[in-house]
A = this chain, B = another copy of it.
Amino acid sequence: MSEVSARRRGGGGAARRAERTAISVETARFIERNIPNFEVLDEEAPSTFTQHARNPQRSVEIGGRNLVLAPVYGPPFVRDADGGRRYATIEDFRNFVKLGYMSKWLHHSGGTVCEPTDVPVNKRHLDMLHAHMTLSDKPFMGSVTEPSRAQDSVDMCGILFGEEFVQANTVMTSLININSPLTFDGIMMGALEVFARNNQAAIISPFIVGGAMAPVTVAGTLTQVLAEVLAGVAYSQLVRKGAPVIFGAFVTSIDMNSGAPTFGTPEASLITYGAGQLARRMGLPYRSAGAFCGSKLPDAQAAYESANSLNMGLLAGVNFMLHACGWLEGGLVASYEKFVMDADQLGVLHGLARGVDLSENGQGMDALREVGPGGHYLGCAHTQANFKSAFWRTDLLDYKPFETWEEEGARDTQALAAIRVRRQLETYRQPDLDPGINEALADYVARRKASMPDAFI
């Protein structure tokens, strides 16, 4: 290949005269590298990591093609069919941890499943962590409301898992919200520093109410989300390179009439899909979506909005879905009934994600031959061999004949869910825990509580 681009050309008399006087300028062709790039910075954060649970069978892989489901996070209120809406207590918190532990489809115990408002603010995290560690054996989240509380989370994990194990492995995934637009909170970042330093995972999560905390357009919001997340990720990697970090995006749109956040909307879906593409381009695990809704009740509005968000979350490539069940009223309320309603729907996501079995058994040609025109498949050999695992089955919804349903009280979904909540809590059994660890955890909580006066901020 020639590297000289200036070349003589033939022509008339004028051209020949120009040629005689012109200075021939040699210009090198643009550079094509045949040497490796020099990477002055380290490898990016891990694209997949394991969050260990104390029960190793419940450890989760966050990233890649995986989806890990965790319950609602943060509501100061709870609601149930009997008691209505009220401030959440530590008893409620424990109940939600139990319900999460019992759910077949939920992989993660979550974090602040509700705010235990009857416990002083500066001591809540101790009771919450203690509940996750003792009432469940699924993975859980650490406290982010103060760097010292993040440290308590790390220390209690040291008791539960052993200190060396914690330093070598990730045992918490914690939620670091960004005060969008473009603002990082010192307290949250202090918590991030504690977690990153201790090799624990952080979700760097812009908190987007589109039109308020971000531009009113999808592409504008994505631009801001990307800038915010990358800044947070870079910071975490400065604290400890290779510390696990998740590309987060909490996304809602806004009702321009009232300023209320809205959920299950097409704009929120488009942002969530787009952010998923950005996260994959960055090679980072992705946190978004959830069973979001604005409704005050676990009614049809709640379910439409939640189903829109859950389906979108699966298809958008979310790897860690917080708020996957129990979210009500824009996140102000943790609903007992909605917790089990959403959790049941999470089975639908599992079924969809299985994809299509194209094996010989999947194709079922024997069944087609056996049954033939006008027959039915209920009793054929292929159905008999496969029916148990062929279809997702609800643990909650009603498929009864109309007459049976009416005789049994014409119950709606909320009524059926209330029964399931009661039954789950009645049949709950605490998972085994080494008595020494159990005692050490209780001691730690008691000692830390005694070390400081109650505070309510």
Contacts and interface: CB of A to CB of B under 8 A. Distances in A.
B374 A183 contact: yes
A298 interface: yes
A356 B316 CA distance: 14
Contacts of A338: 300
A362 B223 CA distance: 10
Contacts of A345: 304, 308
A383 interface: yes
A283 interface: no
Interface in A207-233: 210-224
A228 to B, nearest CB: 10
Q: How many copies does the complex hold?
A: 2
A303 B307 contact: yes
A238 interface: no
Contacts of A216: 364, 367, 377, 382-383, 386-387, 390-391
Interface string A235-248: 00000000000000
A456 interface: no
Interface in A390-445: 390-394, 397-402, 405-406, 410, 412-414, 417
A352 B311 contact: no
A64 interface: no
A255 interface: yes
Contacts of A213: 376-377
A306 B266 CA distance: 16
A1 interface: no
B332 A364 contact: no
A254 interface: yes
A358 B218 CA distance: 8
Given A267-B392, A410-B296, A362 B256 contact: no
B266 A300 contact: no
A301 B301 contact: no
A55 B399 CA distance: 41
A216 B384 CA distance: 9
A262 interface: yes
Contact of A399 (B260, B298, B394): B260
Nearest to A298: B300
Contacts of A349: 266
B215 A265 contact: no
A109 interface: no
A167 interface: no
A95 interface: no
Given A266-B352, A364-B217, A368-B215, A311 B307 contact: yes
Q: Which 9 A-B pairs have the closest CB atoms?
A: A220-B364, A266-B351, A307-B307, A303-B303, A215-B364, A182-B373, A300-B413, A300-B303, A299-B412
Given A218-B356, A219-B364, A295-B398, 6 more contacts: A215-B364, A217-B364, A223-B368, A256-B388, A270-B351, A303-B303
22 contacts: A85-B402, A182-B373, A211-B390, A216-B377, A217-B364, A218-B357, A220-B382, A223-B363, A255-B393, A260-B401, A262-B394, A266-B351, A267-B351, A274-B356, A296-B398, A299-B412, A301-B412, A304-B397, A308-B311, A311-B311, A315-B315, A332-B402
Interface of A: 85, 179, 181-183, 210-224, 253-260, 262, 264-267, 269-270, 274, 294-308, 311-312, 315, 329, 332, 338, 341, 345, 347-352, 354-358, 361-365, 367-368, 371-378, 382-383, 386-388, 390-394, 397-402, 405-406, 410, 412-414, 417
